[in-house]
Structure 1
Amino acid sequence: MERYDINDVPDPFACAMEAALSLAVRLAAPESAALDHAAVESLIETDGREILRRFFQGHLDLRALNEENSPPPREVTGRDGVPRTHRERGRARQLTCLFGTVSVTRLAWRNRGRPDVRPADATLSLPRGRHSAGRRRLAVREAIHSSYDQAVEAIGDRCGRVLGKRRAESLVVEAAQDIDAFYRHRIASPCTADMPLVIQVDGKGVVMRPEALREATRRAALRKKQQGRQARLAPGEKPNRKRIATIATVHDTHPAKRRPHDIVHPPGGRSDRRKVNPGPKAVNRWCTASLIHDPDDVIAEAFTQAADRDPGQHRPWLVLVDGARHQLDLIQAEARRRHVKIDILIDLVHVAEYI
């Protein structure tokens, strides 16, 4: 007699396979033959996203099933070192990924008066909020290249309308909050004595809301507004609407021998007779910027980073600036305070734009 199949555990990927088969049937139907390529593309994009979401959900369900059926560990403890002795099944939470929203079910180990411990959360590296690492990475990448409105629109085109503007702003802020800690724990590779150490300082105007302007700038903007309409502004010109952010970077570089024609195009253009030598490449970059702190604080932080890389000052220190007088004064004052010998390089091409 043939034995009955007592394995009644459902296939976690059955829903995903059913959705994939349904899409194949729709594409093979006579009605789809009358669609243009844009309609077919939109159909595959919409239904395909749901298929991917179901595959992700099936994978999470399989992991939850394996966790429940696995032998329990000898002891589960929390950060406080207290064992969690009671196991509770079916503890679910929502996770919004690139394909939609999925449910993550896992075991919770409990002890009276203590917070729950969920080992699967650490294995999956689940975020504190609902949005996955892929969704956060996408929000940051889109926000860098455009406004928040455009970033939300781009995310909606790829993932569906699942993210608002305010939430996109918070995701970008959360992604940037550990930059300082990242740089503090990052150790630059050691360099030889003939490898220059470069410090670069610059200022960047950032358009601000009226309430965020400094008092003197705000009063100047008010006077300008009271004067009425003025002449047409040049591209990028926004007087009395900006605050200057101080940007500083420190990096190592390999010396590169270059000739004049490697930098400036000769009259008539370049020829193939002389090979152009490549310029120096920056490595081990460290960067900081601030709208809040004074420029001297940012410059001092850059010098501290440089001193950590070359405590004995065995390497040549180069400081690159665009010729701003107040930056030069602050840089020279900081070098005197630290008794550091520096060579200042001024970007003459940049300075020529103001002459």
Structure 2
Amino acid sequence: MARRSSGCLPVLVLLLAPCLLGYAIGLPVLALAAPALVPYVYLHDPAQFAEHRTLALSTLAAAPVLAFLLVRWASPVGGRLRGNRTRPAPAPAKGRFNPRARQPRPVRGYLGRIVLLLSATSTTALWLLLRSNDARGPQAMQETLTLVGGVAGATVVVLFAIRRWDRPYIAPVTLTAVRTQARQAEKALRRVRADNVRVERLVAEVSAKLAAAHTQRDFATMRTLHTESYGCADSVYAHYRSVQESLNTMTHTVRRVRMARWQPAGAVVRAVNRGARTEAAQLRVATAGLAATVASLQSETARNRKLVDQLNIRTADVKHRIRDGYGAVGLRWFEDLEARREAARAAEGKPLRAAR
């Protein structure tokens, strides 16, 4: 008869899981403190050091490697340390020094952060060891947990600081630049609104002519209407693109101001400099006005796009009416029109569209 499983293996795994997890976390954490732990054991317990000499030296050698992996993991991919070095770094504001504005060299940057991490963990471990947390005696488990927790806390703090410090540097936008952008935005908004009124009137006129064209049978009239409608759509779309470019520039300015507000160096300067706090308050007010103008521009550009879409639909109706309602002449005109458009697209390097 087959022997039934006693079911002890799952229970054993559950019992050993905390121990295995503790070793998996505790050993790497203590390895980061090896520059302090190994000399401490060598000086205070030579017999134990001699017994575990190979393990101690291996842990000491693995500490920089583990620190490098943690630093690389904590540093942002597109940040100051690991970011693209072919792109020029943004210059700080004139008359202000910001240590984050300079992108560090890879070797020097990694070495500095590795030394910082190992120094913090080793100092924490040494301080705890000197306070009798040497994992000996009846309270060895509690002292070990205290040591591991202290080193882990120091590791988390340093890695968090590295992640904050290595974020991409964003050059602060000056108050003068924001006010200049705000004036340009207001001027652009007035122009956009005036142009929208004009474009809306043109769309209404063309739509009325297109509606009346359904009752006309003159090929020349229909062809003229198509040319007029197509030209109007082109002018409206060109206007839309120019507004969109200005809108992107202004949106980028607002985003830069808001992101630069959380730069560590700027926060420190505002904390100790009253003039910087006053300028920051004025900058927030100016940025809020610029953001409101940007929102209005977005609304106007959305309206522009709707006008273009409506006009394109009516223009396509006229084109297909000429193709289907005027026999061979209309079909030849339609084919010539499509050939010219495909040639223009090929000259611009755009993919050809299927015949419609």
Higher-RCO chain (CA-CA 8 Å, sequence separation at least 6): 2
Q: Which of these two proteins has the greater Rg computed from alpha carbons?
A: 2
TM-score (norm 2): 0.21
Flag the structure with higher strand content.
Answer: 1
> TM (normalized to structure 1)?
0.21
